[in-house]
Chains A and B, each alone.
Chain A
């Protein structure tokens, strides 16, 4: 149980719980590795300060999370594309070139606070938009910025 969720009553505890399933495509579901917040944080924490396309008028915010490259390294999946899926059934394919060029963040906190599902949490895929100008005006990266991430398949 994450510390930020301690005050949340048991009825909605699952709603804010961080859980990520990581696996290779074609493997049985039982082979998937499941990461909770502490385990993700153990992989490596990085902070990126940037605006995001779904809140362009807002000032840049401080996002904290694990770089996708660290997750991919867990399964030695370098060079492969990623299929990133969400709790609401949405998914997007991230080409390997995105990871090698931009190394997006799988963020679990915004401005030091956990991200509630109503705010596109608990895990949000954040590209470093302000660090790479070409990202912010491009709808493709908006589509690849998956909210409510709960599953990553290495293809």
Chain B
């Protein structure tokens, strides 16, 4: 059935094969039906059981004839009666009928047998009729019958032989017909078996084809799955790469849902910055994140409106509060509008800036203000003095014969001298005074709110102390150092340049008049 249900285009070799096989099967089926029908008929015929019985009945007939002869002889000898003879003749007639029953018509054996049987029947019939009509003549009849039957003895023997041949012929005929049927049945069975094998092979082939298709489908499926897995792996790799990059970012990053400030994403840095202690907050409202709530609200509005917020400096509320440069941008997470916020910790930069500023204003060797910073202070002091009508004084200090120290003891010794002197100056001055290194071995001091006389006394005391106390070098040597000082009080309306010039002139005067002295500017 599976073969016939395979659909193949008409005219193709496969369709041809199917038609041939179908026609063959049909023919086979018809043959089987015909053969089965004729075999059934044959079986009916064969079931007639008497075919093989003619020799047996012929034998019994010969016996019967013998018994009739014996009865006749007994009657002649006076030992038997007519009744017994009549009975034996009757039985003989019955046996004649029995043999006739099994004879085929036509062949030579049958004709010869038929002739004998007719002769016997006539003898017995006639004898019986004679006995019935004239039982007195039984003696004569018995004598004649005995002679007639004795004459038939060779023919009786022939009858048995003929019956045997006759039965053999019948058996042979029957056997041949049976064999024909058997051969026919065997041939049909073989054809049926062949057809069955063909069908099996064909259906196996179809099955294998289907199996092949299934395998191809499975392979395609597997490949597809592998590609999907590879793609998934790639996506996962990208996602992790992005996450790693974001986590490695020095900026804290948070993505907040606009509707409820839910924290949709954060990186590691955010947790570190907030000192959240492991668990990230569920929501992170910007009004709470930043100290300046108004600024936070403005930031949210600007970003929501689509503006990019850049470099906004805001104080962040955290366990360790810090200043952050804030970037914010509206993003889309799925279908929900969200706000991406970058917090860059600004505190360190602030500190650096302050350090830089300090360095920019400081003399590296002595730690005093440098020339530029001191001039800046001088400007500020001048403005304050001008505004408040307060006096102030400028001191210019120069180390006497400093070139000799450098040349005689080396530059490290010179530096040590300068550091020592700077300490002594600071110790001698008030907190409100500014002290700076003006370059080389020259120092300057600003003394706000100070009259000239007071400033002169401070300068004189510095000169005296320095001259009295030698500087102890690291090498163990001590050096006597003296200072020359020029002191100038600011005059109202005077600029810094002019004040400096007058102080410088006073210092020059001190140098010129022998050093180790204080000179007031004119």
Q: Is the CB of A88 within 8 A of B64?
A: yes
Between A and B, 12 residue pairs with Cβ closer than 8 Å are A9-B133, A11-B82, A11-B86, A12-B83, A14-B86, A15-B86, A15-B90, A88-B63, A118-B91, A137-B49, A139-B52, A148-B94
**C-alpha spacing A63/B449, complex, angstroms:** 175
Q: Is the interface of B mostly helix, strand, loop or mixed?
A: helix
Is B513 on the interface with A (CB-CB < 8 A)? Answer: no
Q: Is the CB of B97 within 8 A of A118?
A: yes
CB of A78 to closest CB in B, whole Å: 29
Q: Is the CB of B83 within 8 A of A117?
A: no
Q: Is the CB of A11 within 8 A of B132?
A: yes
Is B138 on the interface with A (CB-CB < 8 A)? Answer: yes
Nearest 9 interchain pairs by C-beta? A137-B47, A117-B90, A14-B83, A118-B93, A11-B135, A139-B49, A12-B86, A15-B87, A15-B86
Is A96 on the interface with B (CB-CB < 8 A)? Answer: no
Q: Is the CB of A53 within 8 A of B83?
A: no
Q: Is the CB of B132 within 8 A of A117?
A: no
Is B369 on the interface with A (CB-CB < 8 A)? Answer: no
B102-141 contact mask (Cβ, 8 Å, vs A): 1 or 0? 0000000000000000000000000010011101001000
B302-316 contact mask (Cβ, 8 Å, vs A): 1 or 0? 000000000000000
Q: Which residues of A contact B (CB under 8 A)?
A: 8-16, 53-56, 87-90, 116-120, 136-139, 142, 147-148
Q: Which residues of B contact A (CB under 8 A)?
A: 47-50, 52-53, 60, 63-64, 67, 82-84, 86-87, 89-91, 93-95, 97-98, 101, 128, 131-133, 135, 138
**C-alpha spacing A92/B67, complex, angstroms:** 20
CB of B74 to closest CB in A, whole Å: 14
A13: nearest chain-B partner, CB-CB: B83
CB of B216 to closest CB in A, whole Å: 62
Q: Which of A8, A56, A88, A139 contacts B91 (CB 8 A)?
A: A88
Asked whether A142 and B50 contact (CB < 8 A) given A12-B128, A90-B60, the answer is yes
Q: Is the CB of B101 within 8 A of A54?
A: yes
Asked whether A9 and B132 contact (CB < 8 A) given A54-B50, A90-B60, the answer is yes
Q: Is the CB of B131 within 8 A of A12?
A: yes
Which of A55, A116, A137 has the most chain B CB atoms inside 10 A of its CB? A137
Q: Which residues on A sit within 8 Å (CB–CB) of B138?
A: 11
**C-alpha spacing A136/B420, complex, angstroms:** 156
Q: Which residues on B sit within 8 Å (CB–CB) of A147?
A: 94
Asked whether A56 and B87 contact (CB < 8 A) given A11-B135, A118-B97, the answer is no
B129: nearest chain-A partner, CB-CB: A12
B52: nearest chain-A partner, CB-CB: A139
Q: Is the CB of B50 within 8 A of A87?
A: no
Q: Which residues on A sit within 8 Å (CB–CB) of B60?
A: 88, 90
**C-alpha spacing A138/B47, complex, angstroms:** 7
Q: Is the CB of B50 within 8 A of A119?
A: no
B43: nearest chain-A partner, CB-CB: A137
**C-alpha spacing A56/B52, complex, angstroms:** 15
Q: Which residues on A sit within 8 Å (CB–CB) of B135?
A: 9-11
Q: Which residues on A sit within 8 Å (CB–CB) of B132?
A: 8-9, 11-12
Q: Which of A14, A117, A118, A119 contacts B84 (CB 8 A)?
A: A14
CB of A61 to closest CB in B, whole Å: 15
Question: What 7 additional pairs, Cβ within 8 angstroms, besides A12-B86, A14-B84?
Answer: A11-B132, A11-B138, A15-B86, A88-B63, A89-B63, A138-B49, A142-B50
Q: Which of A119, A120, A142 contacts B49 (CB 8 A)?
A: A142
CB of B209 to closest CB in A, whole Å: 53
Q: Which residues on B sit within 8 Å (CB–CB) of A116?
A: 90
Which of B60, B90, B138 has the most chain A CB atoms inside 10 A of its CB? B90
